[in-house]
Amino acid sequence: MREKSVLIIGAGIAGITSALEIADKDIIVHLIEKTSSIGGHVQGFCCKAVDNVCTKCGACLLKDKIDKIKVHPNVKIYLDSNISDVSKSNDKFSVQIKQNNKNNSLEIDAIVVATGFTPFDARQKGRFGYGRIPYVFTGLDIEEYFKEKGNVGVQNFEPISDNIPKQIAFIQCVGSRDPHLNKGYCSRVCCRYALRLAMMLREAFPEVKVDVFYMDIQSSGKEFNMLYDQCKDDSKIEFIKSIPTRAQEISETKSVRILYEDMTEAKLVERDYDLLVLSIGITPSEENQRIESLLGINTDEFGFFEPNAQGVFLSGTCEGPKSISESIQHAEKTALDVMEYL
Ligand SMILES: Cc1cc2nc3c(=O)[nH]c(=O)nc-3n(C[C@H](O)[C@H](O)[C@H](O)COP(=O)(O)OP(=O)(O)OC[C@H]3O[C@@H](n4cnc5c(N)ncnc54)[C@H](O)[C@@H]3O)c2cc1C
Ligand code: SF4
Ligand code: SF4
């Protein structure tokens, strides 16, 4: 009898987790990844320990999984690859995989879609100046910066060159909870990563004041509440319930001026910052439309996948916003569903 085999599209933390769980049950897994490395977005995230205490951000959960999958005898990894055609007959899928200029044909029994998400493009919120004002960054930029430099005692902060920052602002919900952009949902992860990054910046620059502009804080779980309490107890972190209306470059002082409405006083206020961080959220992957038409699966009103095709399963953030640990849990549950189906 032919061995059962499963195709997994996308080698982020969700795709890798589902692959390991399924491969451990002696099923052959073909894991295809469109880029030249596995790990997805988590590869770019820093360790967010503060004062050497783990804040449970989950970024280090990836390494062990990558080490395991690279040597797993039941997993074949295809880098720089994408699916180009899929057909189905008698419960078997025939899939064409394009890898560079080579085509591979596979006969498989089930497909797991783990194509992840695309970070919100902050340029779509032109009024915050991302890409135009040199002191405006996204949360992802800061993650990648700390990943490269290490997270403690950053004395020469290159994003603002010769300046040690004294005032930093975060704007929450950039590209989330925004019905005008058809993104009326909460991205679930940006409050958590922003507060962790705020604490890291406070540790790196003890004199710095951090203002967090928000409309709602997505608090979930005991750990997040502890983190939130820690930030609220810090006299140099201020939470301001208002989303600024615009950011403007002040070249003379190399700073960015933010205009916002002070809700308690009902008046417009301007404040200047050395650095502005936009807490961008999770949006459906730009691949979704192509995958949708190849596999015949539906998307919800925002463009995330909905489980509705026989033999096709979803893993991780392609189905909706999730943290790393939530993506892992979802991927493990998906693997169980696949085993049951096979
Ligand atoms: C700025 C930012 C910071 C964050 N920080 C944290 C944090 O500190 N802690 C936390 O818990 N969560 C954090 N998150 C959330 C975290 O990124 C996700 O939970 C996690 O990346 C989800 O993993 P995934 O595998 O579902 O998706 P992804 O990481 O997006 O991986 C998907 C993979 O699929 C590949 N792929 C896509 N389409 C195809 C295709 N057609 N063919 C082949 N391969 C394909 C992609 O190249 C990628 O490798 C953050 C999110 C953002 C935006
Ligand atoms: S990467 Fe995150 S979870 Fe891992 S040790 Fe650092 S803070 Fe803790
Ligand atoms: S997690 Fe926080 S910042 Fe992100 S969309 Fe939800 S409320 Fe806004």
User: Tens digits of per-residue pLDDT, 50-92?
Assistant: 888 899 999 999 999 999 999 999 999 999 999 999 998 888 9
Inform me whether the pLDDT recorded for 43 exceeds 90: yes
Binding pocket residue ranges, ligand 2, CB within 6 Å: 47-49, 54-60
Q: Read off the pTM.
A: 0.94
Inform me whether the pLDDT recorded for 1 exceeds 50: no
Lowest mean pLDDT among 12-16, 154-158, 161-165: 154-158
- C-alpha to C-alpha distance for 169 and 166, rounded to whole angstroms: 10
Which ligand is located closest to the Cα atom of residue 35?
A: 1
Determine the residue of 217, 242, 277, 323 to mutate for testing ligand 3's pocket, defined as the one with the most ligand atoms within 8 A of the Cβ atom: 217
Neighbours of 340 (CB within 10 A): 7
Q: Is the CB of 13 under 6 A from ligand 1?
A: yes
Give the position, in ligand 3's atom list, of the atom nearest the Cα of 279.
3
Neighbours of 342 (CB within 10 A): 14
Ligand 2 mean position, distance from CA 50 (Å): 9
Give the position, in ligand 2's atom list, of the atom nearest the Cα of 58.
3
Ligand 2, atom 2, lies closest to the CA of 57
- C-alpha to C-alpha distance for 97 and 285, rounded to whole angstroms: 19
Ligand 2 mean position, distance from CA 288 (Å): 30
Higher pLDDT, 327 or 254: 327
Inform me whether the pLDDT recorded for 313 exceeds 60: yes
Fold of 5-116+285-341: FAD/NAD(P)-binding domain (3.50.50)
- C-alpha to C-alpha distance for 82 and 85, rounded to whole angstroms: 9
Which of 45-67 are b and which e, b meaning 16 or more Cβ less than 10 Å from the residue's Cβ?
Answer: bbbbbbeeeebbbbbeebeebbe
Contacts of 174 (CB under 8 A, 6+ apart): 120, 122, 125, 128, 138, 190, 278, 279, 280, 281
Which ligand is located closest to the Cα atom of residue 219?
A: 3
What are the structure tokens assigned to 105, written together?
């044909």
How far from 263 is each of 71, 172, 214, 243, CA to CA, in Å? 56, 16, 12, 10
Q: What is the mean pLDDT of residues 31-56?
A: 93
Determine the residue of 43, 60, 193 to mutate for testing ligand 2's pocket, defined as the one with the most ligand atoms within 8 A of the Cβ atom: 60
Q: Is the CB of 283 under 6 A from ligand 1?
A: no
Instruction: Give bridge partners of residue 281 from the DSSP assignment.
Output: none
Q: What is the mean pLDDT of residues 16-20?
A: 98
DSSP code, position 15: H
Ligand 3 mean position, distance from CA 177 (Å): 7
Inform me whether the pLDDT recorded for 188 exceeds 90: yes
Ligand 3 mean position, distance from CA 78 (Å): 35
Inform me whether the pLDDT recorded for 280 exceeds 50: yes
* Per-residue pLDDT at 153: 47
Instruction: Give bridge partners of residue 99 from the DSSP assignment.
Output: 81, 102
Instruction: Say if residues 22 and 31 touch (Cβ distance below 8 Å).
Output: no
Give the position, in ligand 3's atom list, of the atom nearest the Cα of 189.
1
Break the chain into its structural domains and give their ranges.
Answer: 5-116+285-341, 120-282
Strands 28-32 and 5-9: parallel
Could you say which of 3.50.50.60, 3.40.640.10, 2.40.110.10, 3.90.920.10 is the CATH number of the domain covering 120-282?
Answer: 3.50.50.60
Instruction: Say if residues 260 and 240 touch (Cβ distance below 8 Å).
Output: yes
Determine the residue of 120, 173, 185, 242 to mutate for testing ligand 3's pocket, defined as the one with the most ligand atoms within 8 A of the Cβ atom: 173
